[in-house]
Every structure is written in structure tokens, then in C-alpha cells.
Amino acid sequence: MNSPLLIVFKLLGSIALLMYGMKVMSEALQKMAGPQLRHVLGAMTTNRFTGVLTGMLVCVSVQSSAATTVMTVSFVNAALLTLAQAISVIMGANIGTTLSAWIMSAGFSFNIANLVWPVFLIAVILIQFKKHRYLGDFLFGISFMFFALGTLSTTGREMDLANNERIINFFSSFDSGSYLTILMFLLIGTILTCIAQSSAALMAITMVLCTSGVLNIYQGIALVMGENIGTTLTANLAALSANTQARRAALAHLVFNVFGVLWVLCVFYPFVRTACRIVGVDADAEIQSPERLTFVLATFHTMFNVTNTMILIWFVPQIEKLVSKLIPHKAADDEFRLQFIQSGIMKTPEISVFQAQKETEVFADRMIRMFEMVEELTSVQDADSFKQLKERIAKYEQISDNMENEIGKYLGQVSNAHLSDDTKQKIRAMLREISELESIGDSCYNLARTLERRRAQEVRLTENQEDGLKEIYGRLKKGMEQMALVLKGTGSAEESARLEHELNLCRDRLRDQNIHAVDNHEYSFATSTIYMDLVAECEKCGDYVVNVVEAKTGSELDDSPDIPGEQDSGI
């Protein structure tokens, strides 16, 4: 006979293995359907009903309502989903998560240990062949999950809690017909889920206790209700550092589940008996079939979430107003912050890479705005206006440094996970992209410093020099705008190469014109130096722009393509 200590370790180890198996299965599913998953969740849902369907689909795909909710909160944080759309997606995720309860019920009810071993073998073979490694990871995860469930079921019987008088007497001392008992077990379920950060683990423990005869069905269902509230903590913790809309979306998840628990408590006993009748169980019978009790829990879980969604789907605008009042907008939310990723929101790897890429696109747009300020600074005459604009450019340079650090640090965290080869390549490319984008920020700041030096030395450029600057500014800006399109997946690398070639030719022509003008004493050598410093810095910035495009496309661009109409451009 196993010692009590060994049984405890088997119980805890089985729960850990269950959580690990679900994690591996979830990540494998996301790798197999990563882009499609991102598109489904990121798409603007047309109405609340399609939002619920989207939430169900994604949650069934990743087998985690917490992961789906955190993803949804992240998309709200990035303004990809409105608050109303996010609420409907979260409702759907609550329905989708009920599949996990049914899977666990099957694991407790049927002896599937003999089926696990061949699946393990197939999974390892697929992983080794690499071509189907994600399918292998999925089978590996689901095998671990079912193996853990089988071990939990066996351990529950070994514990023989039904014959332990002290435990039986302890739980029997609670009157299941009393609402005070139900509320107490509901609170216990909430606290334990908050601590474990896994409703699946608590659902498994609840099933062990019910099948062992320790808990009656009313107490077990009260724990399940508490788990529904406790599981909302994950998204609310993730949203602490996010913007107002993201915090509201996380709070809406809590409001949804708390409201469901409140109305179910009003009809608790009839509702539980209805769930029992569907499975063919007498809720008040002294002797229960352990196998059927797990299906009662799964049935209640499904009825609770489906019915709650059917009621609240008509009140999405009201929920939106409620959470907006509970979390008012703050002026601090208008200040600069990363839009797509925040510390505390760590999604599954494939989604995280997508979020980082979107943040990189924002980085590029911000650098374009910084260059536009440099263009504006070139023609500013008023001293105070010049100083204010120069300070803004300096602030943007600091922002570019911070963005490189934050995105790089985030990608470093993501790279610690088990990633596909394609995802690893994307991370390497993005690390280079953000480094080159930060160099663009440095280059823009150098232009601003040169303009400040020109003002301090009271250097006045000639009309031809002003025209030359406008021309090279215009060519550089076109290159930067094309770079932003390439990052978004709509631009052409060949067009970037053409624009870079035009920029280089423009630099060469302006340099030759400058040498000729100095030789003819059209302006001083000091004026020439300032002018050529600006032209050279623009060309250097153009090189950084091309480097970003090369990092994104994964190929080295030819900087000397055939350009139609070169004569027309005056080159």
C-alpha cells in the first residue's frame, strides 16, 4: 500500500503534469494555426454574436480561456478591438473553456492509460521528423494531459477518502442545504483558483474530491462557481499596466462571471438538479456514481456559461457603460506608451511575436513623425519656437531609445519559449529592425543638432541650398514612408531600393554642386560645411531605412537598379 506522503506527491505531480500537458497542447495548436488565429481574433467583429463565436473558436483552439482573455485584453490595449467587441469575445471564451471540463470528465470516467502509450510514441516520432513537429507537440501535450487525468483518478481511489471518517465527518458537518455552506465553498474555490492561477487544476481537484465521495454534488458545484470568478484574476493582473480600455475589458470579464454566479445562487438548487437530471443523476441520493458526478460538473459548467452568455449578450452596451464608470479615463493615459505590448501582458509566443511586430510598425511611424519635425525645424525662424521644437525632437530620440529597449526586452522574454523556426527567424529580423529604427532616430536628432549649430553660427543658406535640402528631404521621406509600408506587408522592397538609389544620386549631385559653388565663392566654407553635413546625414539615414527593409524582407537590396526617367529628374 502506498504511503500517505507518496500519495500526496502523486496528487500534486499529476496536477502539475495536467497543467503542463494543457500548456504544451495549447502552444502547439497556436503554432499550427498561429496566423489564422491572430487574424480571427484581430479581425473587427461585425456584431456581438460573431464576437461570441470568435471567442469560442479561439478558446477551443488554444484550450485556455485565460490565454484567450489575455490576448483579447492585449488587442484592446492596442486598439485592434473595441471594448464592446472584446466583451463579446470574452463571453465566447467562457463557453469555449467548457470543453476542458468535458475532456477531464472523459479522463476520469474511462481508463485511457493503455491508449496514451502509443500516442506518446507517435508524438515523439513526429517531433523527431520535424516536418510535423507541431502535430507531435500537440499529441505529446494531450497524452500528458490524459495520463495525468488517469493518474489523478487512480490516486483519488488510492486515497480512499470515502472511508476516512475524519474527512467525511468534516465535510458532512457542512449543511449542503444551507446557502452559507454554498457561499463558503464558492469563496474557497475563488481563493484557490486565484492562488493556483489555473481553473483547470482546481476543476481536476474538485473532480477527485467528488469521485472519492468526500464532496457532495452541491459542494462540488459551489467550488466550480468559485473557480469561474477566480479565473478572471489572470486577465485583471495582466491589464494592471495596460491602458484604460484594456483594464475595462478585463473588468468586464469579472463582471460577467460575478453576475452569472449571483443569478445562479438565486436558483441554485433547481439549477443543479436540472444539470443532474440531464446526466441522469439524483442530486439528493446518498449513493452516487462517481463517474457520472464528473459529467454533472461538466454539464453544470456548460449550462452556467451558455445561459449566462444568452442573458448578458443583450446587455453588452450596459456592461460597457458600467465598466467605463468603474474605471474612468485618466489624463495620464494620453501620454506616450507602447501601444501593443505592456509589461505584465505576456501572451503565448506566437501572439507575442505578432504584437511586437505591430509595435515595430508604430516605431516606424513615430520615426517618420520625428523626421517631419526636422523638416519643420529647418524653416523655423522664431527662437522660442525653434527651442520648443528642438526639445520635442530630443524627446522623440529618447522615446526611440526606450522603444528599442522595451521591444528588445520583450522579444528576449518571448525567445525563451519553445518557438517554431519561422518564429525564431521573425524575432531575429525584428531585433535588427528596431536597432535600425533607433539609428534613424539618432540620425534625425543629428540633423536637429546640425540645424541648431547653423542657427548658433548664424549661417544663412542660399536659395539653391534650400532647394537642395527640400529635394533630399523629400526623397528621404518617400523612402521612410515606403519602409513603413514594407513593415506593414503592403510595400515593395524593389521600390525601396529604387528610392534609395535616387537618394544616393541626389546626394552625389548636391555634393558636386556644392564643390562648384565653393570654388566660385558663392558662399563661405562654413556655410558649405553645414550644408553638406545635412546632406550627408540624410543619405546616412537613407541607409538605415534600407537596412530596415532588408531585415524585414530577409534579402539584401540592390542599391543601383535601373531607374526609368533619370534624365527627367535632372540627374
10 vs 501, higher pLDDT? 501
Average pLDDT on 354-361 reads: 84
Q: What is the pLDDT of residue 90?
A: 85
Given a cut of 60, whether residue 545 has pLDDT beyond it is: yes
**67 close to 30: Cβ distance less than 8 angstroms:** no
Q: What is the pLDDT of residue 168?
A: 65
Name the percent of the chain lying above pLDDT 70.
77
**87 close to 252: Cβ distance less than 8 angstroms:** yes
**φ and ψ at 548, to 5 degrees?**
-65, -45
Q: What is the pLDDT of residue 515?
A: 92
Say how far apart CA 560 and CA 205 lie, in whole Å. Answer: 67
CB within 8 Å of 384: residues ≥ 6 apart: none
Which DSSP category does 161 fall into?
A: G
Average pLDDT on 55-72 reads: 69
Average pLDDT on 381-396 reads: 91
Q: What is the pLDDT of residue 44?
A: 47
425: which 3 cell numbers? 527567424
Say how far apart CA 183 and CA 179 lie, in whole Å. Answer: 6
What does pLDDT average to over the chain? Answer: 80
Q: What is the pLDDT of residue 566?
A: 40
Give per-residue pLDDT as tens, 418-468: 666 777 888 899 999 999 999 999 999 999 999 999 999 998 999 999 999
Q: What is the pLDDT of residue 67?
A: 65
pTM: 0.60
pLDDT tier, 349 (very low <50, low <70, confident <90, very high otherwise): low
Most confident of 149-158, 265-274, 312-321, 528-537: 528-537
274 vs 23, higher pLDDT? 274
Say how far apart CA 516 and CA 514 lie, in whole Å. Answer: 5
Say how far apart CA 76 and CA 324 lie, in whole Å. Answer: 14
Given a cut of 60, whether residue 500 has pLDDT beyond it is: yes
Say how far apart CA 61 and CA 16 lie, in whole Å. Answer: 21
pLDDT tier, 205 (very low <50, low <70, confident <90, very high otherwise): confident
Q: What is the pLDDT of residue 332?
A: 47
Q: What is the pLDDT of residue 113?
A: 62
CATH numbers and ranges of domains, the chain? 4-332 (no CATH), 349-553 (1.20.58.220)
DSSP state letters, 365-404: HHHHHHHHHHHHHHH---HHHHHHHHHHHHHHHHHHHHHH
